Structure formats: C-alpha cells, structure tokens
C-alpha cells in the first residue's frame, strides 16, 4: 500500500501573500532548491496574471474573520517519475480548483530522515470566491456577496452556508477523488501499489498513524533516534 497524505487548511487574512511567496519560492524563499513546478489559473483581470497580487488583495480587503484561501497539501506517489508526478499534480489541481482562482507549486525536498529520498508533494492555494462574470475592483472582489444585486457586492464564496457535516462530506469526497486519480496514475504506469483515502481505522488496520516530523524537530534528533524512527516506520508498514 502506497502512502496517502492529504490535508486542507484555511488561510486567514494577512497570511496569503506571504504563503504565496513560500510555496512559489519567491522573495525571501528564492534560495530553496526544492521547487519543481508552479502554476496558477482563473485569476481576475486586475491581478494581471500575478497570483501573489491576488492573494495580497485578499489580505487587504477580505473580512477580518474571513479565510482568504484554502490550502490543499497532497503527497505525490514516490513510485512515479518526476514527469509523471507533475502530470498527476495537474490533474489534481484541475479536480480541486475547477474554475476558482488558484496557485500551486510542487516541492520535492529530500526526506529529513531518509536523506536521499525525495518527498514530492503539491501545495494548492484555492480561493472560495467564484467568478460570476461580473467585473469588480480588487476591493469589491472580497466584499460580502449581495444576492439581490450581485454587481453591488463581492464574489460569492462557494463555502458559504454549508454546515460542518456538509463540509466534512465534501472533504471526504475530495480525498476519495484524489486517491482515485493517484491510483489511476499508478495503474497507468505499471505499478501495483495503491493508496487509500480512508483512515486506518476505517481500513481495519491496527498500525499507528504516521506522525509528521517537522524539519526543526528532525534537526534536533540524534543519528540513533533517526535510525530508530526509520525502523519503527518499516515495522508499522510491514517492512
């Protein structure tokens, strides 16, 4: 069974522009050497093809308690070649972002524990504000939606009005679809490995969920602790 990792986080007002720089390795992040590919789509005309300009406008004009973006972070199967991973990432972006403003980047840092192994993954920033064909200024784009007179308000958020159960079900469906795309790619390229979007409990697995270790924590680990961590992972995965 190949590893499946997919998380979604909300990006609050004030953080979007900087996070755009982070995933795109722009500005103060230019010295990072793990960037594989970037892309964006469905930006309003006023952004002039610059996703960071769009996110910074959201930082400025979005409501104080509003989310400027949702970030989807998805691991790409290690069994695939770099070219195949990039193609798969494009399919995933098309599935999750659809016609929404978005920006994505593929990173392939070396695994902090395993050394030479690369952990390829995609960061996808998506705005919930759907294009309805109405031309708006940057400020108006992020105003509250006016159902009676759309031209007077901002773009509608497609997450608006959903309760927690509906949002949970929508996320489960996204995870299912992403796993399906990954398995299709694995099969297409001749690999037996498959991913499963379900939790270990839902799969009937008794092994422990794998914990993510941040780079700072790994740097503090001794070589002995790193080796022990690798051995535990292999045992949990039946290796």
Catalytic residues: 22
Residue 71 contacts residue 8 (beta carbons within 8 Å) = yes
What angle in degrees, to the nearest 10, is found between the helix axes of 16-23 and 51-61? 160
> What is the distance between the alpha carbons of residues 72 and 69, in angstroms, rounded to a whole number?
10
- CA-nearest of 28, 75, 20 to 197 is 75
Classify the C-alpha dihedral 42-45-47-49 as positive or negative.
Answer: positive
Neighbouring C-alpha atoms within 13 Å toward the C-beta of 97: 26
């Amino acid at each position: 069974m190949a590893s499946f990792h997919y998380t979604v986080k909300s990006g609050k007002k004030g953080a979007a522009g900087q996070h755009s720089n982070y995933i795109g390795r722009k500005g103060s992040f230019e010295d990072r050497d793990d960037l594989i590919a970037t892309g964006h789509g469905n930006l309003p005309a006023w952004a002039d093809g610059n996703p960071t300009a769009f996110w910074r406008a959201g930082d400025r004009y979005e409501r104080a308690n509003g989310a400027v973006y949702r970030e989807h972070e998805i691991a790409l199967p290690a069994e695939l070649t770099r070219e195949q991973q990039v193609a798969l990432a494009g399919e995933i972006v098309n599935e999750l972002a659809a016609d929404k403003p978005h920006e994505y980047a593929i990173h392939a840092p070396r695994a902090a524990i395993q050394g030479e192994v690369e952990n390829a993954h995609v960061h996808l920033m998506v705005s919930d504000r759907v294009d309805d064909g109405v031309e708006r200024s940057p400020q108006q784009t992020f105003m509250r939606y006016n159902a009676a007179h759309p031209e007077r308000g901002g773009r509608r958020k497609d997450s608006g009005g959903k309760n927690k159960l509906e949002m949970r079900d929508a996320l489960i469906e996204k995870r299912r679809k992403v796993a399906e795309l990954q398995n299709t790619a694995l099969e297409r390229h001749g690999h037996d490995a498959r991913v499963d979007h379900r939790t270990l409990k839902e799969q009937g697995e008794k092994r422990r969920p794998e914990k993510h270790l941040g780079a700072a924590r790994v740097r503090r680990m001794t070589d002995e602790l790193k080796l022990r961590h690798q051995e535990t992972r292999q045992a949990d995965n039946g290796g």
